[in-house]
Amino acid sequence: MSPRTRSQKARARYRLTTPGWAIAGLVALAAGTVALTVAAVAHGNPDEADAASPVPATTATPTGTPSPTASPTPPTLTLAPLARADERFLMIDASGTAWRGVAGSCAAGTAPQVERSADGGSTWADVTPAYLGIRQIAGILPLTAGEAQLVAATDAACTTLGLRTYTQGVFWEPYPEVLTGATYLPIADPVALVTPIGAPPAPCAEPTSLSVSGSYAALLCDQQPYVWSAELGESWAGVAAASPARAVLVSNDTLTIARASAECSGLAISSTAASDRSTFTTSCQPDLDASAPAVLAADPRGVVSLWSGDTLVTF
C-alpha cells in the first residue's frame, strides 16, 4: 500500500471516531482566532476600525409642544404695621401753604404735632395748639389762604372738637361748625367714618389714610387700599394689586397709592382711575423708605404731594 493511500485511510478513520463536540470546539476556536486577529488589526488602524464597526441605530426624539416653564412666584412683600399715633396728615391750601401733622394718641399719652410751611416744605414752624391741651388730632382741613382747621381731642375724655386759626397757626379757637361736612376718622371709633358723602363703616378695625373727592372715598385697611362710591355699590372695593400700601388718596377720580413694590427699592407711587382700577401707572422714589409713615395730599389744582419720613415730594 502506498503512503498516500495509508494517509487517506487514517483521515477517514479520524473523522469516523472524533466526537461532534470536539469538531465544534475546533470551529469555535478558529472563529475566535479570526476575531482576535481582526481586533488586533483594528487597534493598530483606528480608521479601518471605524469603517468596519457598525453604526448604532439613532433613536428619533419625538417632537411636540415643549412643557411650559413655570413663572417664578413673585416675592411676598410685607410692611410692619404702624400705630395710629403715628398716622400722618397733610394739607396744601390754595396759597401753596403746607400744613402737616402727626396724630398722637389719647389712649397712649403720645402728644400730637402740627406744623406749617410757607416755602414749599423747606422749613417748618411748630404751630401745635398745646395750650389748648390737645391730645390727638384726626384731621387737618383747609380754610382760607394761609389758614387751616383741625379736628382734635382736647380733654381727658378725648372729646372731638373743631378748631380754626386766623393767625397762621399762632392762635387756635374752637368752632363747632368745623365738624360739619368734614372728613375724618372718629378718635374713639375710627370704623365709623365721618364723610360728607355718607361712606359706610370701614372694612377693618384700624382704618387709616381716609380721603374723599367728589363721589369717591378711599382708605387703607391692613395695608390694602379700598375705594367706595355709591355708584360702585354698597361695599368697599379692595385694590389688592396695590398692596402693601402706606398711603392712599382719591382726587378728581384718580386713586394715588404709595406702596412697597418688588420693582422699586424705595417707595412706589401708583395711580389708577378710581372708577375701574384696572390699569396702573407707577413711578419709583428710590430715596424714600416704604416702611416709614407716609401721607398723600392734593392741592386745589389737583397737584399731588407726598410726605414720607422727613421728605416732602410733589408730583
Residue 149 CB-half CA count within 13 A:
18
Of the three residues 136, 153, 184, the one that is the final residue of a domain is 184
Of the three residues 137, 166, 184, the one that is the final residue of a domain is 184
pLDDT of 101-122, one tens digit each? 999 999 888 999 999 999 999 9
Q: Which residues does residue 297 pair with via DSSP β-bridges, in sequence order?
A: 305
Of the three residues 184, 212, 245, the one that is the final residue of a domain is 184
What does the CA dihedral 8, 9, 15, 18 come to, rounded to 10 degrees? Answer: -130
pLDDT of 140-179, one tens digit each? 999 999 999 999 998 888 899 999 999 999 999 999 999 9
Length of the chain: 315
Statement to judge: residues 205 and 251 lie in one domain: yes
* Residue 76's pLDDT band (cuts 50, 70, 90): low
Considering the domain boundaries, does residue 39 fall inside one? no
What are 70's three cell numbers?
Answer: 413655570
pLDDT greater than 90 at residue 246:
yes
pLDDT greater than 60 at residue 18:
no
- Which residue range(s) make up the domain with 175? 79-184
What's the domain count of the chain?
2
What CATH number is given to the structural domain containing 276? 2.130.10.10
* Whether the Cβ atoms of residue 136 and residue 112 lie closer than 8 Å to each other: yes
Higher pLDDT, 234 or 291: 291
Considering the domain boundaries, does residue 9 fall inside one? no
Q: Which residues does residue 227 pair with via DSSP β-bridges, in sequence order?
A: 218, 237
pLDDT at position 233 is 81
Statement to judge: residues 147 and 160 lie in one domain: yes
